[in-house]
């Protein structure tokens, strides 16, 4: 193994199959072995350089039929940004009615995607 080269053992989570990947990282060159599909190769590359996750949680709702609504990032965000976005979402309170896929936070922490609702909430008068 040459200097600056690193091999990571990663379990692919692009699908539930969970292929064991061996990812070799040499500066920006990445070699993925063990994947059984193209999505797995892409996953291994991203997971080694910048692991990403869809963040899901709930935020409070005032005046709704239920007290909280599920929310999600539209697309996966860098894993390191998760705690900061969660902290921002804890300060959010939406006012009912809430519609599906309504924007909750636009591009939080420069994550490159929005946090949107994953369900609707009716207003209770």
Partner 1 sequence: MTPIQCDVAVIGGGPAGLAAAVAATEAGADTLLLERHVELGGVLPQCIHPGFGLKLFGEELTGPEYSQRWVSQAAGIRRLTDTMVVSVSPGFTVWATGPASGLLEVRSGSLVLAMGCRERTRGAIAIAGTRPAGVMTAGTAQRLVNVHGHMPGKRFVILGSGDIGMIMARRLTWEGAEVVGVYELLPHLAGLRRNYVQCLQDNDIPLHLGHTVTEIHGDRRLTGVTVCGVDQAMCPMPATAQLVPADTLLLSVGLIPENELTRALGAEMDAVTGGPVVDDRMQTTVPGLFAAGNVVQVHDLADDVSLAGAVAGREAAAYARDGTAGAAWARVTPGSGVRSVVPQRLRLPADPATEITLRVRRPVEQRCHLLLTVRGATVARRRLDYARPGEMVSLSLGAQAAQALREGGDLAVEVVEA
Tell me which residues touch partner 1 (CB under 8 A): 11, 13, 15-19, 36, 53-54, 56-58, 60, 66-68, 70, 72, 79, 82, 86, 100, 118-119
Cβ within 8 Å of residue 109, ≥6 positions away: 77, 81, 84, 85, 88
Question: Of 38, 117, 118, 110, whose CA–CA distance to 80 is shortest?
Answer: 110
Do the strands 115-117 and 68-73 form a parallel or antiparallel pair, or are they unpaired?
antiparallel
State the nearest-atom distance from the C-beta of 26 to partner 1, in Å.
24
Find residue 121's DSSP bridge partners.
98
State the nearest-atom distance from the C-beta of 91 to partner 1, in Å.
13
* Rounded CA separation 105/51 (Å): 22
**Beta carbon nearer to partner 1, 26 or 116:** 116
**Beta carbon nearer to partner 1, 5 or 99:** 99
Is 99 within 8 Å of 117 (Cβ atoms)?
Answer: yes
State the nearest-atom distance from the C-beta of 3 to partner 1, in Å.
28
**Beta carbon nearer to partner 1, 26 or 96:** 96
**Beta carbon nearer to partner 1, 5 or 56:** 56
């Amino acid at each position: 193994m040459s200097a600056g080269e690193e091999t990571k053992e990663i379990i692919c989570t692009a699908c539930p199959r969970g292929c064991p990947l061996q990812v070799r990282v040499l500066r920006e060159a990445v070699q993925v072995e063990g994947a059984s599909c193209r999505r797995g190769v892409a996953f291994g590359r991203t997971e080694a350089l910048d692991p990403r996750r869809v963040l899901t949680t709930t935020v409070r709702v005032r005046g709704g039929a239920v007290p909280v609504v599920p929310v999600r990032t539209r697309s996966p965000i860098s894993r390191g940004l998760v705690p900061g976005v969660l902290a921002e979402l804890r300060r959010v309170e939406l006012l009912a009615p809430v519609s599906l896929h309504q924007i909750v936070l636009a591009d939080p922490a420069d994550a490159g995607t929005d946090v949107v609702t994953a369900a609707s909430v009716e207003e209770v008068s």
